[in-house]
Amino acid sequence: MQTPYGHGELWYRKPPFVSGPPELGYQLPYTPRQLYRNGIYSLTQQCLRHYHAPFHQLPQDTQQLVLSHLETGALTLEDIPGPTFFEQLRNNTLEGAFSDPIYGGNRDMKGWIMMGFPGARADFMDWINQNGAPYPFGPVSISPSLSMTIRE
């Protein structure tokens, strides 16, 4: 969160902030790093109050319940709507798991391997319409030093 993204440098964050349809976009005064900082703090307080443990120490089924409450809006984190925090967390998790490793996530291209995604290959069209056929080559990163030649 020490990047321009984390500091919200490209986000429009001027009031008024109104609750409304998703088409209005993000409607909070917080940068991504502030959203996480405030959201995680508030989530920890909620979990301690209701379950007597922070989120990361809760059993998996209770964690699932808490995440479900965030997603549906049944749980609000002070002035951060649960669905807003949930979507930010979900989107950043997916970005980290499936982006090119050159950006710092998807270590060893494990997300791509799991999905059978070829990565940044210039041409894999011969394999597009072969329903159910596994792609025979490992993924390739934008950075040649991170690329694989054989699937592990």
Per-residue pLDDT reduced to its tens digit, 16-45:
888 888 788 888 999 999 999 999 999 999
What's the CA gap between 49 and 44, in Å, rounded? 9
pTM (2 d.p.):
0.79
Q: Look up tokens 């059978």; give the residue.
A: 116
Q: Which residue has the higher pLDDT, 52 or 24?
A: 52
Task: Look at the chain and count its residues.
Answer: 152
Give 144's pLDDT tier (boundaries 50, 70, 90): low
The answer on pLDDT for 150 being more than 60 is no
What confidence score (pLDDT) does residue 127 get? Answer: 77
Annotated domain spans of the chain: 1-98, 108-152
